[in-house]
Structure 1
Amino acid sequence: ECSQGIDNCGGNATCINTVGKYNCTCNVGYTGDPFKQCIDINECQPSASPCAEKAVCEDTVGNYSCKCEPGYQGDGYNSCVDFDECANTTNNECVQKATCINTVGSYNCECGEGYSGAGDILCEDINECLLPDTCSTPPATKCVNLPGTYRCDCADGFALDNKGVCVDVDECAITDICIENAICSNTVGSYSCNCDSGFEGNPSLSCDDIDECLLDQANCDKNAECTNLIGDFICSCKTGYEENPTTRVCEDYDECIIDDIKCHDNSACVNTLGSYECRCDQGFVSASNATCKGYICFDVNSLNALCFNEIGNYTCTCNTGYTGDGNVSCFIKMSSSLKKSWDLRLLEKILTFFYVYCITFVYFFFQCADIDECVKQMDDCDVSANEQCLNVDGGWECGCRPGFNRNSEDICEDIDECAEGTDQCGMDCANTIGSFQCSCRDGYKMSDSGTCTDIDECKDGLSDCDVYANCSNTPGSFECNCVNGFHGDGKQCLDINECANTTNPPCPLNGQCKNTPGLYACDCLDGYQKDGNLCSNINECIRNPCHFEALCVDTDGSYTCTCKIGFTGDGKTCTGLSVIFLYSNTNINECIGGTSECVENADCINTVGSHKCTCKDGYSGDGKVACTNVNKCSTGAAQCQTNSACVNTAPGYTCVCDAGYTGVMEKSTTVSTDIDECSNGDADCDTNSRCQNTVGNFICACNPGYTGDGKQQCQAKDLCGTGAHNCSEGTICKNT
């Protein structure tokens, strides 16, 4: 029946002929009623898998096959043992600078010492200089990063001595580093420039000469003249004065003695304040040719006396028959026989009776008393010409009032006590008609004792120094100097914005400067901590913030958590992938399911069978390892206006007006960010490779199972030919 086909066996059943009949039996791998229909047996039921441990059972029509899971090798039916992918570099995807570490069923690529990242994609150099305690020997060491390592050098402003110790460098002694008219002051590890004495301005731009004479800051003596010099001034005594080396006061110079002035005949040299005069000797008067001539008798025969000219003088002699001194009176000579017949008519030749000396005539017992013509206003002195009456015995004289002196023209003229030095002020002297007044110079005040004492404007609150300036009293004046952290002339002090100093920033790398009036403060950015004067990266991986099945990668100021191969999650939570998931062709949207490898500040882009991570605007990185803030202030990408400072923010930057300025900050709306060639299609990677974006570039890496440069080509690996397969003995290997 079987051979003739007249049996009635069902599908997937075999007819077996017997004597006189036949029998139907289900084929191997099938079960059921062989006379009706044999259905396929699913040998791969999880409860009774015929395959070895770590093998995947695949049901086939009427049969099944066993294949070892990825990472294992064997026949799949009897055993599956771990496959050491690290034994041959062709069996793993570890990149350069990464070490392959075999695990049960898989392997890990760990970046070598001094490098970090995903070892199967990219190992980046670790900047050890950002780690705490690196080159921490105080106070003068700095760290120099090298590929995979680092080196400790002396910090800027320090140099190694012959003992190998970093010592301070005196920049002021090495080179003329400051501008003209500025002096250099060495500090520990640096230096400062300040305008020299006699100059003012911004020592980083220009130092200009101070005209102390024009600003009345020289405080020269009243008898001295001020001459401005470049960076200084001199006080020179006026003509006719010389400086006292002890008191530094300009005192009158006695030309008569020191210069031995020779005046004309019949005159003598008389010293005056700042000069001298040639005055006629007594008995001589000034002539029109600046010479001195003797007195001349105008009335040679007056009042019974004769005048005789002499050299520098004259004499008066009573006429014959008269007696007396000839100057005041001449009396007629009398004899005793004239006692009773004294003729009073003899007195008619005398101008007046009041010029006669009082003579006691014993015979007549007669006595004469002097008349005070000044009191009785009998004089003829001209008050309007500054004359005053002076009573003398038997007459009067017209002299000059106090404060006046009769000149060579017989006129009473004002005496300049200030010019002649007879004022005895010891301060500023002002001449007045007939007198003088003493007053104190600016910056001085009159004391109760009548002397001028210095006014302490600082103590008395009379200075106009700025609130941020120190007041220093000086003789006759004061000085205003801005305190540290401010600059200006002392009358106006403006805050120095230390944070705006981009040439020599006050805060360390990864530090944020905050300006305050007269000071500034440095705070470390997020992800960094203070380490002396540095801001060092916090190695968050030390405290194991990731899942135990995730790889923690420390980055500058942050860290990333990436689930290991065979696990999915955000790195904080990782769950194992099922065998079905591993071998399923169904696309999974990792961006929605939370299984992406994208870090903070990165955008996730789903692709078929995978996903891409792209750093957001204002950040740079690969999107999977790290996305760090782009500091546009330090890179020069910021476009702040003059008189403003750039303050880094995440992401972007802001412009802040310097102290003393106000306005609306404007900056370019164009921001330079990294181009993600992987996401915009500019990357020319092979179809069998994956694209990894980097700052300013990208990397093409062949997919697992392929080999090549990732860019020009990625060819399937000949696992069968290289013996890198896990086929069991007795089976045939076919590349797929």
Structure 2
Amino acid sequence: MGYQCKCEGLFVWPIDTCHSYETCDNITDGVCTCINALPNNGQFCQLKKGTTSNYMIDVDVRFFDSSLVNYLRHLITNFNFPLALSNNINVTDIDMSTVCGLNGTEYECKCEEHHVWSNDTCEVYQVCDGIVGGTCGCIQGLPSEGQLCQKDINECKDAQSVCGQNSDCINTIGSHICSCWSGFAPLNKDIPVSVNNSCVRTQPLTEYLIEIEINTLNPAIIDQLRRLLLSFNLPYTLTDNTNITEINITTVCSLNEMGYQCKCEGLFVWPIDTCHSYETCDNITDGVCTCINALPNNGQFCQLKKAFYP
């Protein structure tokens, strides 16, 4: 009967070809996928317009000069993507996955960074590194089916959907590890942390206010203490379930010729009762002051100003 030319996959014959030759399927949207002819202009089927296709191609490159491997790595990492091959075909990613070489008389195949051998391959061949997460990065063999190392998936990109709330996710080769934050534990302690076994607080949240008195007559030590407290990254962990959330210097008292003088730091003030009980060394404004000529006998310190002004 003659030649019949069919298009593969997402390829079609253009409208002119469909009209020039007898078609062996329907013309749809101005194109067809089969003609009863062999085009005399050597034309092939074309990618259907508006269609994007992704292809993964494994390329086996063979050479015995190990320096060429480093050259190839450098070349691949310096490509700017997408790399145009034609008007409708782009290379979007080039990835070096596997390097095999002779180690004595045996082949040794190592995976490149962020790649691993599948679980099955590690079990079939002798490994030349540790098996982590069920996979390995090196085998003493050349897989007979031509398999290459596979790209490791970073499950921790969306940590919360993998591990759940109140947890950290650590990516490992071929797997990942979920761990609860300090002060949290998994609902079921007998199975690993996951989005289905999320972390919950082990103890109710409790806040403590601790006042510390430091006796010194050296103003340089007070300045050093100010700088030290400002350098803390808060919250500061003391134990698994105890954090320091805030540190402040509130009150500095010193001796002068007349006796003790106690001044408030930063946003701290003496409450109105204290201002009236002792001689003040600044003005009483809005019922508070920031300096008194005394050392309160009840061990009281200046208080945060917002306590008086909600």
TM normalised by structure 1 equals 0.12
TM normalised by structure 2 equals 0.25
Please state which structure has a larger fraction of its residues in helix: 2
Q: Greater RCO between the two (CA within 8 Å, min separation 6)?
A: 2
Give the structure with higher Rg (CA).
1
Please state which structure has a larger fraction of its residues in strand: 1
